[in-house]
Amino acid sequence: MGEALVDSYGRTVRDLRISVTDRCNFRCQYCMPEEGMVWLPRTDILTFEEIERVARVCVERFGVDSIRLTGGEPTVRAHLPTLVAKLAALRVGGDPDGRGVDLAMTTNGASLRLMARDLHDAGLRRLNISCDSLQRERFLAITKRDALDAVLDGIDAALAAGLDPVKLNCVLMRGINDDEIVDFARFGRERGVQVRFIEFMPLDASDEWSANRVVPGAEIVAAIDAVYPLAAVEGRGSQPADRYRYRDGAGEIGVIASVSEPFCGACDRIRLTAEGQLRNCLFAVDETDLRPLLRGGGSDDELAAAIIGNVGRKWAGHSINQVTFIRPARSMSQIGG
Ligand code: SAM
Ligand code: SF4
């Protein structure tokens, strides 16, 4: 293997998040405005070969061993299983007999009924499905799509296809869906999926975020613990979620408290946007454009140097809770959540 990708604070990058499109078939209120999104021209979007090349440099040279596909909505990108198969064929450190990457995806779940098996068979292993209400009318109000049944079917299809684990991502917003915390916990226990509650972050395109709309992780844990007693699971490592197990053995929940309890000190990820910008933080204000290298005859050494340079500029952490915080110009769907 080549060198490890270590930033100036000593954190080693192991996880690459790849946005495969900025487009989406939903309009979640905390992510995209209902009207007026301007999509990237198709020619600006990286091809599967270009994405694979960046991933190959990260995996073979730098030992990155975890890749997550995201977007926008990754399932709206045509022929997605073809990309999954390309990434599943990569070997960590470039050893042909070595291990493959841990390949995961985050999706809104609405198309999984049709796609879950193909994605699994192409090599996808882990799946996170986003769902922010179990009530049909409210789901429609949040996503602007009457698609709760499709998402629930998608969860079943993912489990049936053998994707493991299947987790459910739920963004909680004060006054919108914070009365469903225990309903989600019950749903997860019954379906055998880990629900991950995510604090609302200032990355919405509509600029509706404010600190008092955030439901703090501690409040989420307390609400569930009062009904289904919980115990903290030790050893989170570089994972963003604090995990809690049900004391009666009925599974776990995760809480991603990016705003109230940032976990930047253990962050091990970088992100590639759909048009080839490398970002070292969700909240980064500076990006490295890899597309000129990919399309202009750049060598793998040049790509690797650009990646090292970007990682070298990774900051200690975001400053959402401080007056110095600068909101990124892009929304979550444009960065790749
Ligand atoms: N379309 C896919 C989906 O919704 O799962 C993948 C992309 S989406 C941007 C990735 C994750 O980011 C989702 O779980 C979504 O709920 C979350 N997300 C989007 N905007 C957010 C925000 N402002 N704060 C917290 N989470 C957000
Ligand atoms: Fe689309 Fe996902 Fe953003 Fe919702 S959160 S609008 S599903 S990209």
β-pairing, 102-107 vs 66-70, is: parallel
CA-proximal residue: ligand 1, atom 7 (nearest): 71
Euclidean distance between CA atoms 320 and 318, whole angstroms: 6
Range of the domain at 46: 15-335
Compute φ and ψ for 168, nearest 5 degrees: -115, 125
* In a domain? residue 305: yes
In Å, how far are 201, 225, 255, 318 from 331, measured between CA atoms?
10, 33, 22, 16
* In a domain? residue 299: yes
Q: Work out the mean pLDDT of the chain and round it to a whole number.
A: 92
Beta bridge partners of 173: 214
* In a domain? residue 83: yes
pLDDT > 70? residue 324:
no
Residue 257 in contact with ligand 1 by CB distance below 6 A: no
Give residue 157 CA to ligand 1 midpoint distance, Å. 21
Q: How confident is the model at residue 327 (pLDDT cuts 50, 70, 90)?
A: low
* In a domain? residue 3: no
Choice from 24, 25, 204 to test ligand 2 binding pocket (greatest atom count within 8 A of CB):
24
pLDDT digits (tens, 9 = 90+) for 76-132: 999 999 999 999 999 999 999 999 999 999 999 999 999 999 999 999 999 999 999
* In a domain? residue 9: no
* In a domain? residue 192: yes
CA-proximal residue: ligand 1, atom 8 (nearest): 337
pLDDT digits (tens, 9 = 90+) for 2-33: 788 988 888 899 999 999 999 999 999 989 88
pLDDT digits (tens, 9 = 90+) for 203-252: 766 677 888 999 999 999 999 999 999 999 987 777 778 999 999 999 99
Residue 72 in contact with ligand 2 by CB distance below 6 A: yes
* Cα radius of gyration rounded to whole Å, the chain: 19
What's the CATH code of the domain at 131? 3.20.20.70
pLDDT digits (tens, 9 = 90+) for 203-214: 766 677 888 999
Residue 31 in contact with ligand 2 by CB distance below 6 A: yes
| Angle at which helices 217-225 and 181-191 cross, to 10° | 60
Which structure tokens are listed for 332? Answer: 């979550």
The domain tally of the chain equals: 1
Percentage of the chain with pLDDT > 90?
75
Q: What is the mean pLDDT of residues 145-174?
A: 97
Helix (H, G, I), strand (E, B) or coil at 230: strand
In Å, how far are 33, 77, 145, 293, 333 from 111, measured between CA atoms?
21, 11, 13, 34, 18
Residue 26 in contact with ligand 2 by CB distance below 6 A: yes
* In a domain? residue 296: yes
pTM of the full structure = 0.94
* In a domain? residue 7: no
